[in-house]
A and B are shown apart, each in its own frame.
Chain A
Amino acid sequence: MKHSFLDQYSDRDSLIHRLDPRTKLIAVFLFILAVSLTSQVLWPVFSLYFVLIAVLVTLSTVPVFYIFKRSLVIIPFVLLITIFIPFFKEGEPIATFHIWTWQVSASYFGLQLFITILVKAWLSILSLIVLTSTTTISDLLHGMEQLRLPRVMVMIFSFMYRYIFVLTDEVMRMRQARDSRNVGGSRLRHVKTVGAMAGTLFIRSYERGERVYAAMLSRGYDGHTRTLRRRDFRLADLIFSICIVLVLAAACLFNYLH
């Protein structure tokens, strides 16, 4: 089956695309760190972050709409966690609801916290999307390796990237096979079928794991992962790093002064 690319647009050519993956990985890491450490309601700082992302997106030539659309994926997850914050934080109430015999009020402080978290999550996911749409996954993996991330972790990422579509195909085929035979029946039976499918998928994946390992052994794998090291940290990377660090330092300073 045909699949969309996880790293769509990563094969384009732009200033951002040409940067060393390590530079981008570290920049994104610092960016997310700075975003999460910023105090709440410091809107000027958050605007600065947003402008930074906007500049990067423009430089990367990746369609803005694509990045925006993908970034919305995170919102439901964040909402799930944060939706109750306004009702639990104490402070000046801005709205009070009567639900049956309960009285629930949302505080101004809680609402601010809620919006801040939402903005932080959104900024973080934006930076990650910029990263993955300007760097191919294999370059990212090489970058992680060169940054001395634990090999096992990099391998797990690599296998995940390689097999996620293989597994998706397997699930699709199982679903088609089920739907071809599944007519009517109680809801409970349908749920049971889904459970059985999950079990089957697990067993198949386990068996595939054994075959993949045998294929690795057949090509001389002995538990040590070896790679060709590529180093291409260039002037552009240096300039980019300096820019990012300056902007983030300015944001931190502003944060500190308030």
Chain B
Amino acid sequence: MEEAIRIENLSYAYPDGQPALNDVNLTVYKGDSLAMIGPNGAGKSTLLLHLNGILSSNDYVRIFSEAITDKNLKEVRRRIGLVFQNPDDQLFSATVFDDVAFGPLNLGYSEAEVRQAVADALAKVGMSGFERRSSHHLSLGERKRITIATILSMSPEVMVLDEPTSNLDPRGKWQLIELLREMPVTKIIATHDLELVEALCDRVVILDKGRIVADGVVKEILHDLPLLEAHGLSGPPGIRSASESGSPSRG
């Protein structure tokens, strides 16, 4: 299998000296749908910020077998689309169109290409016709979809999502899961939502206190209750009900 991302011996401390990541090793292959789970403050978001060079990663992170350098930084950021947890951070422009067009414009697309990319991306997330709206007048579910469109417009090869379903109601959540399931790209999803993991991912890593403490297929890890409990992820009732009743989308 071809490697998409390889992280070797990555350690990182916050500017105030507090360690955030400790000797992380992780390889993500093309076509993977990887869930990164772990308690609050485990370092999930920090790790995600290393994947596209927002936080400096020197030689520890390789994207499609290349180190991130100033030269390929833009290309790396196109190939690795990062969606932040809070749509109010991800969507910073006056209109939806401007937000979705922001990436393509920075990549130097022509006007026609930009318009095409925006139209395609909005169509994929089912938000066509919202181009001229401003995002603070949209619902959270709508904003979450548009955050995904903002990276789809750059045709990424890996989608990296930080807590995509946080704060969504169940219907919004399952709509989003359906949407993500249809995207045929490599996905890395940081989440606490074990239902999402079960419905969407095939591989799970558990991150705790800046270390990867488990890495395996979804079925094994989600049913290893002592492991989940040891890392603040226990959800026996949730898991049982999800596996007994089956997720609605599979129903």
A residues sitting closer than 8 Å to B (CB atoms) are 3, 5, 136-138, 141, 158-159, 161-163, 165-166, 208, 211-212, 214-222, 224, 226-228
Q: Are A211 and B106 in contact (CB under 8 A)?
A: no
Q: Are B89 and A211 in contact (CB under 8 A)?
A: yes
Q: Are B136 and A211 in contact (CB under 8 A)?
A: no
How far in angstroms is the closest Cβ of chain B from A17?
13
**Residue of A141, A208, A219, A224 ringed by the most chain B CB atoms within 10 A:** A219
Bound Cα distance from A72 to B129, whole angstroms? 36
Given contacts A217-B54, A218-B54, A228-B101, contact A3 B136 (CB under 8 A): yes
Given contacts A138-B132, A220-B103, contact A215 B94 (CB under 8 A): no
Bound Cα distance from A26 to B115, whole angstroms? 29
Given contacts A3-B137, A162-B136, contact A220 B90 (CB under 8 A): no
How far in angstroms is the closest Cβ of chain A from B96?
10
Identify the stretch in B74-82, B193-201, B213-221 within 8 Å (CB) of chain A at 4 or more residues. Answer: B74-82
Which residues of B, 108-145, contact A by the 8 Å Cβ criterion?
Answer: 108, 111, 114-115, 132, 134-137
**Residue of A211, A214, A228 ringed by the most chain B CB atoms within 10 A:** A228
- CB contacts (< 8 Å) of B101 on chain A: these are 228
Q: Are B106 and A226 in contact (CB under 8 A)?
A: yes
Q: Which residue of chain A lies nearest to B92 when distances are taken between CB atoms in the complex?
A: A212
* Contacts beyond the supplied A214-B54, A220-B107: 12 A-B pairs with Cβ under 8 Å: A137-B94, A138-B94, A141-B94, A162-B94, A162-B134, A215-B90, A218-B54, A219-B106, A220-B103, A222-B74, A226-B105, A228-B105
Bound Cα distance from A220 to B77, whole angstroms? 6
Whether B57 is near chain A, meaning CB under 8 Å from some CB there, is: no
Chosen A-B contacts, 15 in total, with CB atoms closer than 8 Å, are: A138-B95, A158-B94, A162-B94, A162-B135, A165-B136, A212-B92, A214-B54, A215-B89, A218-B52, A218-B82, A219-B106, A219-B150, A220-B77, A221-B106, A226-B105
- CB contacts (< 8 Å) of B136 on chain A: these are 3, 162, 165-166
Bound Cα distance from A212 to B92, whole angstroms? 7
Whether B22 is near chain A, meaning CB under 8 Å from some CB there, is: no
- CB contacts (< 8 Å) of B78 on chain A: these are 220
Top 5 closest pairs, chain A to chain B, by CB: A220-B106, A219-B103, A226-B105, A211-B89, A138-B94
Given contacts A3-B136, A5-B137, A162-B94, contact A227 B54 (CB under 8 A): no
How far in angstroms is the closest Cβ of chain A from B3?
21
Given contacts A214-B49, A217-B54, A218-B77, contact A228 B111 (CB under 8 A): yes
Given contacts A3-B136, A208-B89, A226-B105, contact A219 B151 (CB under 8 A): yes
How far in angstroms is the closest Cβ of chain A from B71?
12
Bound Cα distance from A211 to B49, whole angstroms? 11
Whether B93 is near chain A, meaning CB under 8 Å from some CB there, is: yes
Chain B interface residue count, Cβ-Cβ cutoff 8 angstroms: 37
Which residues of B, 170-201, contact A by the 8 Å Cβ criterion?
Answer: none
B interface: dominant SS? helix
Q: Are B102 and A219 in contact (CB under 8 A)?
A: yes
Q: Are A215 and B77 in contact (CB under 8 A)?
A: no
**Residue of B54, B91, B134, B150 ringed by the most chain A CB atoms within 10 A:** B134
Given contacts A158-B94, A220-B77, A222-B74, contact A212 B105 (CB under 8 A): no
Q: Are A215 and B74 in contact (CB under 8 A)?
A: no
Bound Cα distance from A141 to B98, whole angstroms? 11
Q: Are A228 and B84 in contact (CB under 8 A)?
A: no
Given contacts A141-B94, A162-B136, contact A217 B89 (CB under 8 A): no
Q: Are B151 and A215 in contact (CB under 8 A)?
A: no
- CB contacts (< 8 Å) of B107 on chain A: these are 220
Bound Cα distance from A208 to B90, whole angstroms? 10
- Checking B49, B94, B132, B154 against A219 with a beta-carbon cut-off of 8 angstroms, the contacting residue is B154
Q: Which residue of chain B lies nearest to A226 when distances are taken between CB atoms in the complex?
A: B105
Q: Which residue of chain A lies nearest to B74 when distances are taken between CB atoms in the complex?
A: A220
How far in angstroms is the closest Cβ of chain B from A83?
37
Bound Cα distance from A166 to B87, whole angstroms? 11
How far in angstroms is the closest Cβ of chain A from B161?
12
- CB contacts (< 8 Å) of A221 on chain B: these are 102, 106
- Checking A158, A212, A220 against B89 with a beta-carbon cut-off of 8 angstroms, the contacting residue is A212
- CB contacts (< 8 Å) of B115 on chain A: these are 228
Q: Which residue of chain A lies nearest to B135 when distances are taken between CB atoms in the complex?
A: A162
Q: Which residue of chain B lies nearest to A160 when distances are taken between CB atoms in the complex?
A: B94
- CB contacts (< 8 Å) of B8 on chain A: these are none
**Residue of A163, A212, A215, A224 ringed by the most chain B CB atoms within 10 A:** A215
Q: Are B134 and A211 in contact (CB under 8 A)?
A: no
Whether B234 is near chain A, meaning CB under 8 Å from some CB there, is: no
Whether B88 is near chain A, meaning CB under 8 Å from some CB there, is: yes
